[in-house]
A and B are shown apart, each in its own frame.
Chain A
């Protein structure tokens, strides 16, 4: 559809933009930034904070730039006296219902309201303090997300995130007028509602109303406890994002610097979740092939399609909303939770440590992983498998606190045993990555040949499209896999829970014929996780994804089954995928939960 051009003037400068463009976007093309709070590139327009109001010639009221499309002949002033006064009032009003204890705040220095207050030099603002006493009680019931109503400015970004991006609606607007607030079903605590702990709301909250539960002090306590042996694992997606906490460009690969920083922080061993990502491929790939065999050869009733299980936000979503499909989920634990029990058994033995004295810390792009580590099922080692989960942001804070000049650090390598990984593991960090890694290995197991894609890059499963579908025809299989000869393997990939819901509904009504589905709870996968640096938007996530794929191409080993440490652990400890030990340590089960 061709678009008409609309001519208007912004601050007396003529500009021509596509029909349907908002005043906000039109102003951006002229390098005028109109301040915003409720607006977010990932979300639908709200137009409720009113910070972005502008003056329009001939209009009695000030339209919101984010919510008003341009029209022919429009004359807009973005910084007139009227606008300045209104904008200042709006910021003052927001501050008056905001618990502005900035110096004590977790978001001090990264708060959009604080920035705006600074920009407008709101000094001793005149209006009365409206923060209600009951709002000052934080909801810390969830191990992942803290909700502080006294910091909330009612922009509803979280509500739109939860409803539109994630199709969960754990958070919603309740009450009206002076009582209006963002709340949960029947005002229940966050740990008692349909919340998946994905943390996407945190990523988009302009203030500290929603933050991750932070465990920085606990981790430092462990590090400085001489009796404790503290190992750290880092998720695939952190290495292309942590640099942003130090002013580096999104997608900058800083794996080596991160390892150095972790060592300087005092962790006894710096290990890699990527190792268990490779292991996941071995286990999950075998599980898929087993299920296919049971279905195709033995004619058993097998739950297909098989759904990936790496994303704990997605897992909880399934448990709440599609409990009838729990058997479809792979029984594999997520890489984080495979790492934990192996660290406290296999690894402990190798380095001769008492697992009771070990502390396993994870650095994750994720807030749902905090909840996952607390699950009662996650004690396969006989201890709590993963003791503390920190987000990428929390790691950034620790490095700042320790006075480590991140940008100038030399690169170092991970420690060995649970430290070796492949390109296939790195791409777990972005949407489509698990699928690609699984295909690289499964195809080769079945046919003895590499996947038929140039340079191992399975392009059809890559990219930021919400739902991707692909089919792989399996040909010339090895004799033991003859039942797969000529089979067209149908796969789908969804990221963001709203897309996952679409896929699940298709599976539910029988309109899709998938064998294997990868779902990541967060938009763009882990690189867009709820624990990643802020801000987030599609452009930033694309840059991080590019970083992930560069990292993959830069590695010599790019197939999980070729990881020498993986081969070693199967030889000496696990013996075979889906074997007895794997079952005890690496697999789990799920629990149906209610919608409310």
Chain B
């Protein structure tokens, strides 16, 4: 009855990416976009916007220039899968960008690389140069460039990322307008996660059906997970979507798992009692790949404290709910712990976090309530005592 988690190898397996591109370039752009829509592929960075739709919006814009951006600003605590993809299968990422460029009508692509991954630059430059040459040989006008971040977590948010690329302070923009209509340098831009681009390439290779058949209704296909924490087998795994946390913990836990933080510091904490009914995916708890496993030796207060410290520092600081809210949540749990505030103050803070969820300007502030409420709700006593 309990099916084993299926391991998949779409992302890392070697393919003839030039052959895929050559064949794709013979097809119409709409046809490929329809395949991507049909496959049900959703953004793998965490937010899960349907990739094909994003491409379609960008394609439908009329502009003298459009851009493809590969978001490699992988900064979510507990996520390290994009680093692995860029190390092991960079040519597939580049080909995915070219595919996107073909579909939306962009002639330039940019990789926005997390500063901490700058050690990858030499080899990436080499691969990009070779790839650009290959595109030129095919008379396909698409050139890839690389931009390095400066270490701000918020620059993984696509509009902040583009501000950063434009040489400005990395602060999220007001939306609308969305990047697909006014993105990098004001031009239509498709910003896609590293992993998403590779899946799109694989869908172009194999058609949407194989991908669609995996996973669940809302969460099709497979996903690369970064497994860390109290596990005997930390690492990168590409798994079919649709598993429950119970299955996941059975596979990766150390037998004493108390909670799993799904989706990093901006994700949710699931306690053991909810493992069984919690599905990993958009129907349940989505993740950009980060799976942090905690056993009974861990203090959930410390974990929450760490996350809030992280958010307090990584908020860009422009909007009130996020900038001040993060500080209040952090100082608030400290005050409760020390006894300077009554335990009931936690309810005030939870109300505040609800405001942060709906009133913050970008996804960063809007998702701080995820770890906050889920840890407080599951481990209230650990926070107070």
Q: Decide yes or no whether B40 CB sits under 8 A from chain A.
A: no
Inter-subunit contact A68/B328 (CB<8 Å):
no
Q: Decide yes or no whether A1 CB sits under 8 A from chain B.
A: no
Nearest-Cβ distance from residue B366 to partner chain A, whole angstroms: 6
Mark out the residues of chain A between 172 and 202 whose CB falls within 8 Å of any chain B CB in the assembled complex.
173, 175-180
Distance of A321 Cα from B328 Cα, bound (Å): 42
Given A47-B361, A89-B355, A154-B318, also A177-B348 (CB < 8 A) = no
Distance of A187 Cα from B160 Cα, bound (Å): 24
Distance of A86 Cα from B356 Cα, bound (Å): 8
A94 to chain B: which residues have CB within 8 Å? 320, 324
Q: Decide yes or no whether B316 CB sits under 8 A from chain A.
A: yes
B90 to chain A: which residues have CB within 8 Å? none
A45 to chain B: which residues have CB within 8 Å? 174
Q: Decide yes or no whether A548 CB sits under 8 A from chain B.
A: no
Q: Decide yes or no whether A128 CB sits under 8 A from chain B.
A: yes
Q: How many residues of A contact B (CB 8 A)?
A: 38
Inter-subunit contact A62/B317 (CB<8 Å):
no
B317 to chain A: which residues have CB within 8 Å? 154, 173, 175-180
Q: Decide yes or no whether A96 CB sits under 8 A from chain B.
A: yes
Shortest Cβ distance from A71 into B: residue: B176
Inter-subunit contact B359/A53 (CB<8 Å):
yes
Inter-subunit contact B326/A50 (CB<8 Å):
no
Nearest-Cβ distance from residue B153 to partner chain A, whole angstroms: 9
Distance of A114 Cα from B311 Cα, bound (Å): 29
Nearest-Cβ distance from residue B265 to partner chain A, whole angstroms: 13
Q: Decide yes or no whether B332 CB sits under 8 A from chain A.
A: yes
| Residue of A67, A127, A173 ringed by the most chain B CB atoms within 10 A | A127
Inter-subunit contact A64/B320 (CB<8 Å):
no
Distance of A179 Cα from B326 Cα, bound (Å): 12
Contact for B176 among A69, A173, A180, CB less than 8 A:
A69
Distance of A45 Cα from B173 Cα, bound (Å): 10
Inter-subunit contact A49/B319 (CB<8 Å):
yes
Shortest Cβ distance from A69 into B: residue: B176
Q: Decide yes or no whether B321 CB sits under 8 A from chain A.
A: yes
Distance of A180 Cα from B366 Cα, bound (Å): 19
Chain B 317-348 near chain A by CB (<8 Å), digits 1 or 0:
11111011111100110010000000001001
A68 to chain B: which residues have CB within 8 Å? 174, 176
Mark out the residues of chain B between 282 and 324 whose CB falls within 8 Å of any chain A CB in the assembled complex.
311-321, 323-324
Inter-subunit contact B316/A180 (CB<8 Å):
yes
Nearest-Cβ distance from residue A288 to partner chain B, whole angstroms: 42
Shortest Cβ distance from B356 into A: residue: A89
Inter-subunit contact A177/B324 (CB<8 Å):
no
Given A154-B323, A180-B317, also A90-B174 (CB < 8 A) = no
Shortest Cβ distance from B330 into A: residue: A178
Inter-subunit contact A93/B318 (CB<8 Å):
no
Distance of A45 Cα from B176 Cα, bound (Å): 13
Nearest-Cβ distance from residue A373 to partner chain B, whole angstroms: 36
Inter-subunit contact B321/A176 (CB<8 Å):
no
Inter-subunit contact B316/A177 (CB<8 Å):
yes
Given A89-B359, A90-B359, also A50-B320 (CB < 8 A) = yes
Inter-subunit contact B361/A48 (CB<8 Å):
yes
B174 to chain A: which residues have CB within 8 Å? 45, 47, 64, 67-68
Chain A 29-70 near chain B by CB (<8 Å), digits 1 or 0:
000000000000000011111110100000011101001110
Distance of A53 Cα from B361 Cα, bound (Å): 10
Which secondary structure characterizes the binding site on chain A? loop
Distance of A577 Cα from B320 Cα, bound (Å): 57
Q: Decide yes or no whether A97 CB sits under 8 A from chain B.
A: yes
Contact for A48 among B320, B332, B335, CB less than 8 A:
B320
Distance of A86 Cα from B360 Cα, bound (Å): 10
Chain B 160-171 near chain A by CB (<8 Å), digits 1 or 0:
000000000101
Contact for A128 among B313, B318, B331, B355, CB less than 8 A:
B331
Contact for A49 among B320, B328, B352, B357, CB less than 8 A:
B320
Q: Decide yes or no whether B70 CB sits under 8 A from chain A.
A: no
Q: Decide yes or no whether A595 CB sits under 8 A from chain B.
A: no
Shortest Cβ distance from B327 into A: residue: A178
Q: Decide yes or no whether B47 CB sits under 8 A from chain A.
A: no
Inter-subunit contact B321/A180 (CB<8 Å):
no
A62 to chain B: which residues have CB within 8 Å? 358-359
Distance of A82 Cα from B321 Cα, bound (Å): 14
Q: Decide yes or no whether B152 CB sits under 8 A from chain A.
A: yes
A470 to chain B: which residues have CB within 8 Å? none
Contact for A90 among B169, B171, B355, CB less than 8 A:
B355
Mark out the residues of chain A between 70 and 125 whose CB falls within 8 Å of any chain B CB in the assembled complex.
82, 85-86, 89-90, 93-94, 96-97
Q: Decide yes or no whether B125 CB sits under 8 A from chain A.
A: no
| Residue of B174, B316, B324 ringed by the most chain A CB atoms within 10 A | B324
Inter-subunit contact B320/A177 (CB<8 Å):
no
Inter-subunit contact B318/A180 (CB<8 Å):
yes
Contact for A50 among B332, B351, B361, CB less than 8 A:
B361
Contact for B319 among A50, A89, A96, CB less than 8 A:
A50
Inter-subunit contact A48/B355 (CB<8 Å):
no
B345 to chain A: which residues have CB within 8 Å? 126
Given A128-B328, A154-B323, also A176-B313 (CB < 8 A) = yes
Nearest-Cβ distance from residue B340 to partner chain A, whole angstroms: 9
A90 to chain B: which residues have CB within 8 Å? 320-321, 355, 359
Q: Decide yes or no whether A130 CB sits under 8 A from chain B.
A: yes
B348 to chain A: which residues have CB within 8 Å? 126
Q: Decide yes or no whether A422 CB sits under 8 A from chain B.
A: no
Inter-subunit contact A93/B324 (CB<8 Å):
yes
Inter-subunit contact A61/B314 (CB<8 Å):
no
Q: Decide yes or no whether B154 CB sits under 8 A from chain A.
A: yes
Nearest-Cβ distance from residue A131 to partner chain B, whole angstroms: 11
Nearest-Cβ distance from residue A156 to partner chain B, whole angstroms: 7
Contact for B324 among A86, A96, A179, CB less than 8 A:
A96
Chain A 141-163 near chain B by CB (<8 Å), digits 1 or 0:
00000000000011010000000
Other 19 A-B pairs with CB < 8 A, given A61-B360, A90-B359, A176-B315 = A48-B319, A53-B358, A61-B359, A67-B174, A85-B351, A89-B355, A93-B352, A126-B348, A128-B328, A128-B332, A130-B324, A130-B328, A173-B317, A175-B317, A176-B152, A176-B317, A177-B313, A178-B323, A178-B326
A-B pairs with beta carbons under 8 Å apart, 7 shown: A48-B318, A61-B359, A85-B351, A94-B324, A97-B327, A154-B317, A173-B318
